[in-house]
Amino acid sequence: MPINTSATLKQSTKTEKELQDELTKAGDLSGAKMVDIVVPEAYRGAFGDPMTFSVNGVSVEIPIGKKVQVPEPHALHAQRLMKSAVISKTQKRLTPEEVYND
């Protein structure tokens, strides 16, 4: 069956309720494990204070230099942001492959 015709593109394979449930699950981090994270003072120039970012549309603000608990997906994203941040003039900027492949 061709998948790129206008007739197939107009067809929906899921009901509106199923799509809405998937969106709710994607944005729901209430069941996520909470972990401790500290953003060191060295990153103040790169991110400002507080460090603000979003995961799945859920924003968090992490104060610089303070230990806070955040959902695990936010902690992982914060670690990637810190790993890819350039905080000195002599520091090499990492490629996305280097950031995501630990």
- Per-residue pLDDT tens digits for 14-56: 677 776 676 566 556 667 788 898 988 888 888 887 888 888 7
pTM of the model: 0.64
38/57 Cα distance (integer angstroms): 22
Q: How far apart are the first and last CA of the chain?
A: 41
Portion of the chain with pLDDT greater than 90, in percent:
0
Cα-Cα-Cα-Cα torsion 96, 71, 49, 65, nearest 10 degrees, comes to -100
- The answer to whether position 53 is within a domain reads yes
77/22 Cα distance (integer angstroms): 22
- What pLDDT, on the 0 to 100 scale, is given for residue 55? 84
Domain that holds residue 42: 31-97
pLDDT band at 1, cuts 50/70/90? low
What total of structural domains would you count in the chain?
Answer: 1
- The answer to whether position 3 is within a domain reads no
